[in-house]
């Protein structure tokens, strides 16, 4: 079964302008099979999406700030605390049966890990395409090559901070069924491909203005 899932979506529970209802509505309009709700440091948006998902697949997740940068924790039901050692955070996701990917893995300033560091971590995948990333094509090639050297799953997502961008990029998951466990199994086995296109430049600029405004006020990185 071929499923189209945006693996990186934020809601207004963290740093997006989109309510859960708006995010789900756009996902349906763009003919996605599902989305992963990956708000920063909270599962509130994911819990609400699970209640309102209807026929959509919702992967509950969190974008977690660790001592060595951010991880995407997919398929979890308990929040992972901020600022843990990255290995500890990854292990906590795996204890819940979740999938761990590194977002924007080669984007300067947003990633603190070198390839040698990544080789030592029990990660499951890399976000090789993020629709909101500047110079997406340049980083896409770098990220795909990195993922293949590491032997991990390739995923894509919009990294949506505006409901209008949901589904700009997404992951094709070749899953046994629409059941969440089967979707996570397919991800862990690397049964994926990526699709999509960069988000509109105006929205990219708005997102990065928001990011750097917050960074100037407190030590917090968005992704």
Confidence (pLDDT) at 215: 42
For the segment 51-66, what is each residue's pLDDT rounded down to a tens digit? 999 999 999 999 999 9
Residue 141 CB partners (closer than 8 Å, separation 6+): none
- pLDDT for position 138: 79
Rounded Cα distance between 87 and 92, Å, is 9
pTM of the model: 0.91
Q: Does domain 2-217 have CATH number 3.90.1200.10?
A: no
In which band, very low, low, confident or very high, does the pLDDT at 223 lie, cut at 50, 70 and 90?
very low
CB 37 within 8 A of CB 59: yes
Q: What pLDDT is recorded for position 207?
A: 66
Cα 202–Cα 5–Cα 173 angle in degrees, nearest 5:
135
Cβ(42)–Cβ(76) below 8 Å: no
- What residue spans define the domains of the chain? 2-217
Q: What is the pLDDT of residues 43-101, one digit of tens each?
A: 999 999 999 999 999 999 999 999 999 999 999 999 999 999 999 999 999 999 999 99
Residue 219 or 4, more confident? 4
Residue 98: strand, helix, or coil? coil
């Amino acid at each position: 079964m071929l499923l189209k899932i945006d693996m990186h979506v934020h809601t207004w529970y963290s740093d997006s302008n989109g309510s859960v209802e708006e995010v789900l509505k756009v996902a349906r309009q763009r003919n996605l099979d599902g989305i992963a709700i990956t708000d920063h440091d909270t599962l509130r948006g994911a819990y609400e999406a699970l209640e309102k998902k209807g026929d959509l697949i919702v992967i509950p997740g969190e974008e977690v700030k660790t001592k060595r940068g951010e991880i995407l924790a997919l398929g979890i039901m308990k929040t992972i605390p901020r600022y843990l050692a990255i290995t500890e955070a990854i292990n906590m996701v795996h204890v819940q049966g979740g999938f761990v990917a590194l977002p924007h893995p080669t984007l300067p300033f947003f990633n603190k890990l070198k390839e040698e560091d990544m080789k030592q971590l029990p990660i499951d995948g890399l976000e090789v395409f993020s629709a909101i990333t500047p110079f997406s094509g340049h980083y896409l090639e770098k990220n795909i090559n990195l993922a293949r050297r590491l032997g991990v799953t390739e995923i894509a997502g919009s990294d949506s901070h505006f409901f209008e961008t949901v589904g700009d990029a997404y992951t094709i998951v070749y899953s046994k069924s629409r059941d969440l466990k089967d979707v996570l199994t397919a991800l862990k086995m690397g049964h994926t491909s990526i699709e999509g296109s960069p988000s509109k430049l105006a929205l990219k600029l708005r997102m990065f203005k928001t990011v750097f405004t917050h960074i100037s006020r407190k030590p917090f990185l968005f992704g």
